[in-house]
């Protein structure tokens, strides 16, 4: 048993607090490798991916103590420079230890990462960026080995062909202690990058322009440990925002900056929901009907690919024909077949999904193919007639801290079987 059981039909209401951002916290704990001593990271989400990353860090000699959203990381003077397959294969994001390990040790060996099943997820830009900083890189199907001649990387101009989140982060973490100046052009601008840069700056790094497409890093000799609060999870917040609009309910979402969701929230308004932004919070009230809107995913500040599956569910309940275009990942329409089995009218062609709505949804046994698809299927269950069972629920545990418990607190009838570790922790 590894499932969500959802009984649809409730309008959600109340207030929910989101956790710290998965996609920020994972990189920030990896960045802690850059300085000997104790770093403390707070507002860390209680999710399976964080446990996997903590194990990767333990694997290179860091002591990681986790307690109620706090990760206390004791980084020794000598760290191991090899991240083995047994740990790395659980988590694609573990590739981000490559930059810090290389910067700290002068060489690194990281097994090829595993992770979400989202089509072609290459790391060529990570490797090309590190090579620009002087790293000599060799790789096989199993592992990547990188070596900094003379033990230290050197600053360089790194021009990314696509604003890749992971490549920007790896290059940034490698550059902070490189000799000289690094300029990253076409850098990713996600709020999680700004958060990582804030952590690195608090450690003593000299970074300008984080959050813009042009980031300049002046390498420093060494960094010192620090304490940091992770930014709120805009994707978790967006998931609850969709749940509110979809069920015609009214939900206040706390712990996130609504400006990080500018485009998704304006799409909700175009679809007929009311959105009231506040300071570190916002409220979404769904109307009785939803209207079709078109959605196109793009790197930040564009519409996030991590909310695309949830909006697919929303649009299946909107009157008219919507077109949803996925530009970031090529494997992100896998939930369409499951939604069609529930009654949705969605056809896909290449990276476009055409959604005709509204069509009534019916409870079925469906399968989560990845993290966001799983969350979206739970949302579909909230408006489906009867019982929806979402199998492979562990995908959702990777990135949502107690999704079922938080939805229940808003009035939904959702259970997770068996109960997730995050729910026990709450």
Judged by CB under 6 A, which stretch of 141-149, 161-169, 260-268, 382-390 contacts ligand EPU?
161-169
Q: How far apart are the first and last CA of the chain?
A: 22
Annotated catalytic residue: which of 30, 87, 116, 171? 116
Are 228 and 42 spatial neighbours (Cβ–Cβ below 8 Å)?
yes
Cα separations in angstroms, 23 against 15, 19, 38, 93, 131: 23, 11, 22, 8, 24
Q: How far apart are CA 423 and CA 407, in angstroms?
A: 12
Based on the residue annotation, tell me whether 105 is a catalytic residue of this protein: no
User: Does residue 379 interact with ligand EPU by CB under 6 A?
Assistant: no
User: Does residue 164 interact with ligand EPU by CB under 6 A?
Assistant: yes
Other CB atoms within 10 A of residue 15 CB: 13
Chosen residue from 67, 120, 142, 221 binding ligand EPU by CB under 6 A: 120
Closest CB to ligand EPU among residues 122, 140: 122
Query: What is the number of residues in the chain?
Result: 426
Q: What is the residue-wise DSSP string for 319-354?
A: BEEEEEE--S-TTTTTTHHHHHHTT-EEEEETTEEE
Q: How far apart are CA 414 and CA 381, in angstroms?
A: 9
Closest C-alpha to 69, from 4, 17, 16, 14? 17
Chosen residue from 124, 157, 159, 208 binding ligand EPU by CB under 6 A: 124
CB of 254 to ligand EPU, least distance (A): 21
Which of helix, strand or coil describes residue 312?
A: helix
User: Does residue 125 interact with ligand EPU by CB under 6 A?
Assistant: yes
DSSP strand pairing (143-147 vs 136-139) = antiparallel
Other CB atoms within 10 A of residue 382 CB: 27
- Burial class of 177 by CB neighbour count within 10 A (0 to 12, 13 to 18, 19+): buried
Chosen residue from 4, 399, 414, 422 binding ligand EPU by CB under 6 A: 399
CB of 327 to ligand EPU, least distance (A): 9
Judged by CB under 6 A, which stretch of 69-77, 222-230, 301-309, 315-323 contacts ligand EPU?
301-309
CB of 102 to ligand EPU, least distance (A): 16
Closest CB to ligand EPU among residues 21, 273: 21
Judged by CB under 6 A, which stretch of 224-232, 254-262, 303-311, 415-423 contacts ligand EPU?
303-311
Q: How far apart are CA 394 and CA 396, in angstroms?
A: 5
Judged by CB under 6 A, which stretch of 40-48, 157-165, 244-252, 384-392 contacts ligand EPU?
157-165
Q: How far apart are CA 91 and CA 355, in angstroms?
A: 32
* Contacts (CB under 6 A) with ligand EPU, residues 8-67: 22-23, 26
Are 126 and 172 spatial neighbours (Cβ–Cβ below 8 Å)?
no
Closest CB to ligand EPU among residues 120, 140: 120
Closest CB to ligand EPU among residues 190, 250: 190
CB of 15 to ligand EPU, least distance (A): 24
Binding mask 314-333 for ligand EPU (x = CB under 6 A): --------------xx----
User: Does residue 234 interact with ligand EPU by CB under 6 A?
Assistant: no
Q: How far apart are CA 366 and CA 307, in angstroms?
A: 19
User: Does residue 372 interact with ligand EPU by CB under 6 A?
Assistant: yes
DSSP strand pairing (214-218 vs 206-208) = antiparallel
Q: How far apart are CA 77 and CA 130, in angstroms?
A: 23
Are 203 and 224 spatial neighbours (Cβ–Cβ below 8 Å)?
yes
CB of 153 to ligand EPU, least distance (A): 18
Token pair for 290: 């939803």
Closest residue to ligand EPU: CB criterion = 166
Closest CB to ligand EPU among residues 246, 373: 373
Closest CB to ligand EPU among residues 18, 292: 18
Question: Catalytic positions, please?
Answer: 116
Tell me which residues touch ligand EPU (CB under 6 A): 22-23, 26, 93, 116, 120-126, 162, 164-167, 188, 304-306, 328-329, 371-372, 399
């Amino acid at each position: 048993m590894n499932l969500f059981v959802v009984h649809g039909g409730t309008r959600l209401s109340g207030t929910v607090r989101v956790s710290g951002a998965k996609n920020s916290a994972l990189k920030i704990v990896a960045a802690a490798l850059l300085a000997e001593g104790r770093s403390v990271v707070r507002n860390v989400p209680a999710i399976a991916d964080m446990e996997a990353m903590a194990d990767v860090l333990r694997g290179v000699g860091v002591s990681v103590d986790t307690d109620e959203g706090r990760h206390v990381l004791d980084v020794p003077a000598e760290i191991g420079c090899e991240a083995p397959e047994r740990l790395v294969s659980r988590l694609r994001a573990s590739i981000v230890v490559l930059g810090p390990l290389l910067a700290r040790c002068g060489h690194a060996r990281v097994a090829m990462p595993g992770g979400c099943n989202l089509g072609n997820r290459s790391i060529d830009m990570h490797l090309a960026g590190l090579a620009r900083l002087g790293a000599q890189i060799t790789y096989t199907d199993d592992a990547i080995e990188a070596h900094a001649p003379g033990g230290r990387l050197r600053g360089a101009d790194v021009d990314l062909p696509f604003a890749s989140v992971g490549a920007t982060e790896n290059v940034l973490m490698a550059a902070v202690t490189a000799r000289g100046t690094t300029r990253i052009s076409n850098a990713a601008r996600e709020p999680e990058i700004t958060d990582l840069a804030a952590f690195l700056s608090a450690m003593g790094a000299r970074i300008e322009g984080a959050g813009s497409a042009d980031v300049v890093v002046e390498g420093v000799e060494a960094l010192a440990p620090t304490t940091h609060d992770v930014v709120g999870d805009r994707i978790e917040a967006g998931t609850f925002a969709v749940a509110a609009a979809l069920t015609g309910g009214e939900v206040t979402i706390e712990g996130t900056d609504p400006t990080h969701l500018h485009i998704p929230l304006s799409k909700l308004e175009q679809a007929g929901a009311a959105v009231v932004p506040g300071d570190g919070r916002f409220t979404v009230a769904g109307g009785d009907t939803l209207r079709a809107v078109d959605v196109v995913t793009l790197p930040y500040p564009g519409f996030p690919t991590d909310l695309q599956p949830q909006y697919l569910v929303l649009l299946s309940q909107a009157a008219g024909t919507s077109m949803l275009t996925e530009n970031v990942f090529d494997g992100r329409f896998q939930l369409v077949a499951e939604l069609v089995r529930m009654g949705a009218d969605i056809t896909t062609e290449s990276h476009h999904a055409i959604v005709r709505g509204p069509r009534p949804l019916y409870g079925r046994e469906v399968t989560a193919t990845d993290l966001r698809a799983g969350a979206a299927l739970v949302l579909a269950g909230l408006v489906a007639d009867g019982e929806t069972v979402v199998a492979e629920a562990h995908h959702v545990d990777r990135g949502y801290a107690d999704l079922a418990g938080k939805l229940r607190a808003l009035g939904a009838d959702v259970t997770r079987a068996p109960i997730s570790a995050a729910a026990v922790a709450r």
